[in-house]
Structure 1
Amino acid sequence: MDEEMIVFLKPDAVIRRGVGARVIQEILNNDFKINYFDEVSPPREFIATKHYVQHRGKFFYDWLVKYVTSSPILLFIMEGVDIIYKIRTLLGPTLPENANDNTIRGKYGILGGINVAHASDNINNARYEVELWKGIIEIQNQNYTQKAFNYMKKYINFPIVETKEYRKISNMLIEGKITVPEAKNRIIRLLQVESDFNDNIILQFADIIIENALLRKKEVT
């Protein structure tokens, strides 16, 4: 039986233009049915009180909302037999540090929650999320696979920095081997290579990467 699900590329795979293009390329190479694709800027309240409401009260909740609303996202509605299993296998485990190098998160996820993409994790959540997101988008009669291809083609040759460089800086910060200002400056320089977003968004996202590492540090200490 065909299933529909929500997949969206998070800000790390949008701000890092080449990463987003390569992720979309992998999705397209698998010939999944794409019922919707577009760049979307969901309201903060929608993310906080609807999409991620189940995480309210958790230590990472405020950070998560800030992260997902720090830039536009790339939203897919996808359909197919066992599509949830297939997409989540392609992505790999939620935490990039636990993912194999041949998965999307293993290749492009930075650390912890900065993990490239969201994907519905079971059929009930998929139905809920599809209905939820359809309430804030307009699905038109167009070829969304072609639209995703056009986006991919636009950015596929964009400069890309090895994700391990971001992981290295994050881990150095967790281990106390680098100060926050030093880490932030290094991250900003990397993002400037990979992104055509304005300086405010790059600076904000550097802070999000820093905060993510500091949250991980609290977990392990």
Structure 2
Amino acid sequence: MADTERTFVMVKPDGVQRGLIGDVVSRFEDRGLKLVGGKFMQIDQELAEDHYGEHEDKPFFDDLVDFITSGPVFAMVLEGQDAVSQVRTMMGETDPAESAPGTIRGDYGLDLGRNVIHGSDDEDPGANEREISLFFDDDELVDWDQIDETWLYE
């Protein structure tokens, strides 16, 4: 049996402006992932710089910060077995042009800089914890039993 884990996901300003929050959350819930935290918010400069800190020395860093602070976002934490991998697969490739139809970016994205959604990196084992702690305090995450869990997992 796979491990239950939590992962950070964010509908970016372009997804919010296009009214896609509900569609994105529904896709994850339909898959069987459980929402344990959610927050509609405006990211400030400091949080944006912390969030994208690993890209600080790259030429696109300022553009990332400018975009993520350009409008509200919906930050969330999802929980489920292999949640990081499940979310990454459902999101599609970073470049929507390379994303398969049926993925979030494949269905809603057209441009690399406007790819609707962010999810924690599945190749960096500390990314989830770091991003969750940037956006959520422990008391903002809810432990709860989903009534259909026995129908989702053996």
Per the normalisation by structure 1, the TM-score is: 0.59
Q: CA deviation at 1:141?
A: 5.9
- Corresponding residue for 1:65? 65
Q: Is the Cα–Cα contact under 8 Å of residues 37 and 142 in structure 2 kept in the other structure?
A: no
| TM superposition shift of 1:30 | 1.3
Partners in 2 of 1:31 and 1:103 — Cα distance? Answer: 16
Q: 2:16 matched to which residue of 1?
A: 14
Question: What is the 5 A alignment of 1:10-159?
Answer: 10-17=12-19, 19-48=20-49, 50-122=50-122, 123-135=125-137, 139=140
Cα deviation for residue 125 of structure 1 reads 0.9
Q: List structure 1 segments (4+ residues) > 4 angstroms apart after TM superposition.
A: 140-143
Q: Which residue of 2 aligns with 1:191?
A: none
> Which protein has the bigger helix share?
1
Q: Structure 1: 5+ residue runs without aligned partners? A: 146-221
CA distance in 2 between counterparts of 1:28 and 1:93 reads: 20
Q: May I ask how many residue pairs the two structures share in their alignment?
A: 141
Deviation at 1:37, TM superposition (A): 1.1
Larger radius of gyration: 1
Amino acid at match of 1:30: R
1:140 to 1:104, Cα distance in 2 relative to 1, 3 A: closer
Please tell me the residue identity of whatever aligns with 2:86: K
Cα RMSD between the aligned structures? Answer: 2.1
State the identity %: 30
Output the CA distance in 2 between the equivalents of 1:140 and 1:64.
27
Unaligned ranges ≥5, structure 2: 147-154
Give the strand-richer structure, 1 or 2: 2
What is the CA-CA distance between 1:110 and the residue it aligns to?
2.5
How far apart, CA to CA, are the structure 2 residues paired with 1:20 and 1:110? 17
CA contact (8 A) 1:94 1:113 kept: no
